[in-house]
Amino acid sequence: MNGQHPHGGGGTEGTGKPVHFEPLGPDDPATVAGYRIAARLGAGGMGKVYLSHTPGGRPVAVKMIRPEFAEDPEFRRRFAQEIRSAQRVQGLFTAPVIDADTDGPHPWLATAYVPGPSLAAAVSAHGALPVETVLLLVAGIAEALQVIHGAGIVHRDLKPSNVLLAADGPRVIDFGIAHAADATSLTGSGVAVGTPAFMAPEQAAGRGIGPATDVFALGQVAAYAAAGAPAFGEGASHGVLYRIVHEEPDLSGVPERLSELVTRCLAKDPADRPTVAEVIALCQSANDATTLRRAEDWLPAAVTAEITARSATPAAAPATPASPATAPATAPAAPAHPPTAPAGVAHQPTAPGGVAHQPTSPAGVPYTPPPAAVPPQAPTAPPAHPPQHGYQPAGPYTAPQFAPAHPHPSHTGQFQVPPASGAQRKPRGAVVVALAIGFAVAVSAVGYNVIKGKDGGSQATGSSAGANGSGSGGSSGSAAKPSGAATRPDPQPAEYKGIDLVAGYHLTLGDENLRPQKGEDGGYELSYDTGNYLDAETQGGSLVLLDPGQEGSLATCRADTRFTQNVKTNQLGTGRQVCVTTGNGHIGLVTVRGISPEGSPSKYLTLDVTVWRNATASFNSR
């Protein structure tokens, strides 16, 4: 997640000045389990971050986990485990987890709010930091890692956006949560674990991860802070990861006093890297004075000014009083889970099977049925089951005036949101006219094909539809082409990055939202069998394991005939590619980006998948 700052560094609203607190939108919650939301702080891969306050007035950052993460039981299991561990971390240079709900319909956690920009935002806005600041920064992060590692947690995603700059030192956030995010691609979110530019070689290669992995990331953070750019460059993730594993870092912009510190942290072999205690000693030896002393002005003046601006947090808007003509929007605001509970005690839902939230129409606009459907004087009925805690949307609740057709799977019994204005129901007369025109066109087409079949020998054909290469839309069929007609053009590829395919899950290449789904047997198109092999499940489907260095492409996958039904995972490694041909005309190119390390609770492959839908030679020639 992107920490406690908007989009890494804040936007502007036409003033040229950073916007530290974003106003709430129509889809943002007004309260979260009793925490009244004052502003949005940012959004990232794992969800949105909001500003709230405890009853005593202490600002906190509330992080709402994305719904697709919450639907994944493996993510929930890891998330609960990491939250329990994180609540034991009480270091001076960490933002402690003070509250959480891992079991409710919308998981969330609350941490102490840090009134300062991230290191990424500070360097982006103001450039590289002075040597003295970098030494204090690295020593503070190292102390935080000592506490985190002491709790049995490996951060796994230490990077500049996960380091916040406060007046009294840095704060490390989101420690351990990346381990829970290790399961995110089970739900097809496409969010990769870790940030390529700040990964360690063993992490990029899918090998074992430990405290030394965080030390490598700390070396990269130090180089970034001192030089203003990542040590292994920027660009495509696969290129950055290759340089991390096989090439030396570019430290030309790192000052000489920091050279030994950064170089030792960036050793390829984890055993050659210093411990976090040794990192602190290296910072002390590189310091001009005998000991490190953190002054109030340890940061550049421009960064300190940002901290001052972020310290003036906005208050939450008061609850809107109920109109006499309408029912109250919610029950009286009383925190269902007091934020003053002990830090080691996680929030437990107070309402068994409670309603997660009260639905509203898009952008807070209530659905209005035709005038005949509701008497003009009929008052709006209040909801039958008002929420007792948890996620509550901003804006008043409007009782639905229609029956649900397909309730959302995660909100059983809730109504379906009415369609957007562009998809509103057409008048019945227009539908009748459209049907009549369509029927006439169809009869004309059939007559033409029949006559053409008599005169020219062509036969009338049906139509076929298929998804295009981007994963949306389709192509309609037509009459069969005369002999010698050109084949249809190749479909455009649809690309899906960073999918974690867990053993026991499968992929269906025809799905627009390509995402792992549970199950390894049946009519699926590619599965990771618990017997440690990739399996072509669809009737008529096949796999081809491309040779190392062989360039995967649509042409390659069409031409290669070394078909097999399964590929053992011990034949796979980072960069290895597999062609997938399905029985219903799709072709996929699977590129292995990582393999779950030893000791991981889940066995998975991290894959990039390119899909050409309706692309087999037989389908293409139709």
For the annotated catalytic residues, the residue numbers are 157
List the beta bridge partners of residue 42. Answer: 49
Taking CA 44 as the corner, what is the angle to CA 42 and CA 47, rounded to the nearest 5 degrees? Answer: 90
Coil, strand or helix at 285? helix
275-298 burial code (b ≥16 CB/10 A, e <16) = ebeebbebbeebbeeeebeeeeeb
Q: How far apart, in whole angstroms, are the C-alpha atoms of residue 108 and residue 101? A: 5
Q: How far apart, in whole angstroms, are the C-alpha atoms of residue 397 and residue 393? A: 8
Taking CA 415 as the corner, what is the angle to CA 409 and CA 418, rounded to the nearest 5 degrees? Answer: 110
Residue type, 226: A
Number of Cβ within a 10 Å radius of residue 10: 22
Looking at 71-210, list the stretches that DSSP marks H as alpha helix, in order from N- to C-terminal side: 73-86, 119-126, 131-150, 177-181, 201-204
How many residues does this entry show for the chain? 622
What stretches of 268-358 adopt beta strand conformation (E)?
none
Q: Are 499 and 609 in contact (CB under 8 A)?
A: yes
Q: How far apart, in whole angstroms, are the C-alpha atoms of residue 501 and residue 507? A: 8
- Pairing, β 29-32 against β 35-36: antiparallel
Q: How far apart, in whole angstroms, are the C-alpha atoms of residue 466 and residue 510? A: 9
Q: How far apart, in whole angstroms, are the C-alpha atoms of residue 221 and residue 140? A: 12
List the beta bridge partners of residue 502. Answer: 604
Any residues with CB less than 8 A from the CB of 559 and at least 6 apart, and which? Answer: none
Any residues with CB less than 8 A from the CB of 521 and at least 6 apart, and which? Answer: 527, 537
Q: How far apart, in whole angstroms, are the C-alpha atoms of residue 429 and residue 266? A: 71
Quick one: tokens of 5?
């700052």
Q: How far apart, in whole angstroms, are the C-alpha atoms of residue 68 and residue 534? A: 25
Q: Are 102 and 346 in contact (CB under 8 A)?
A: yes
Q: How far apart, in whole angstroms, are the C-alpha atoms of residue 195 and residue 120? A: 13
State how far the alpha carbon of 308 is from the alpha carbons of 115, 133, 212, in Å: 8, 18, 35
- Which among 102, 111, 175 has a CA at the least distance from the CA of 347? 102
Q: Are 230 and 289 in contact (CB under 8 A)?
A: no
Quick one: tokens of 554?
């649509």
First-to-last alpha carbon distance for the chain, in angstroms, is 47
State how far the alpha carbon of 131 is from the alpha carbons of 137, 289, 300, 593, in Å: 10, 13, 11, 36
Q: How far apart, in whole angstroms, are the C-alpha atoms of residue 263 and residue 271? A: 14
- Which among 265, 241, 263 has a CA at the least distance from the CA of 252? 263
Taking CA 457 as the corner, what is the angle to CA 454 and CA 462, rounded to the nearest 5 degrees? Answer: 90
* Residue bearing tokens 């485990």: 81
* Residue bearing tokens 């597999």: 578
